[in-house]
Amino acid sequence: MNPEVASLCKAACDLGLQALAAADTSWEYHFFGQVTDKELQTIVRLLVNKAIEYVITEQPHTLLISGLPVSTKQIPVRSMSAQELQTFAAKQQLFLDQDE
């Protein structure tokens, strides 16, 4: 998910745009001339942070997301002791500490 979308939706709501159904932000790059597949792979590798970005090669039909939500679990990390947090983080392969 794009982390900027929540701010975008809130700004739209603050401006009175209550009927906003979906939103997203993106960067769009245009290249002059022919770009080979190998050149495109290099460009993507250099410009895209795969942890939070993805490549769209054609205009989307909609921004609405469909499907079923996955189950989630709330973990009360704020109430954990330093030792409990360290044990939980190690078990889940997370890099957490009490300061965070």
Instruction: Report yes or no on 32 lying in a domain.
Output: yes
How many CA atoms are closer than 13 Å to the CA of 59, on its beta-carbon side? 1
Instruction: Report yes or no on 4 lying in a domain.
Output: yes
pTM value > 0.75: no
Instruction: Report yes or no on 74 lying in a domain.
Output: no
Question: What is the domain extent for residue 28?
Answer: 1-65
Count other C-beta atoms under 10 Å from residue 84's C-beta: 13
Instruction: Report yes or no on 95 lying in a domain.
Output: no
Instruction: Report yes or no on 75 lying in a domain.
Output: no
Tokens of 82: 């330093």
Instruction: Report yes or no on 81 lying in a domain.
Output: no
Query: How confident is the model over 34-75, as pLDDT tens digits?
Result: 999 999 899 999 998 888 788 888 877 887 767 777 788 888
**Overall domain count for the chain:** 1
Query: How confident is the model over 13-30, as pLDDT tens digits?
Result: 999 988 888 888 888 888
Distance CA 5, CA 8 (A): 5
Please report, for residues 16, 25, 66, 91, the alpha-carbon distance to residue 8 in angstroms, rounded to integers and kept in the order given: 13, 9, 20, 35
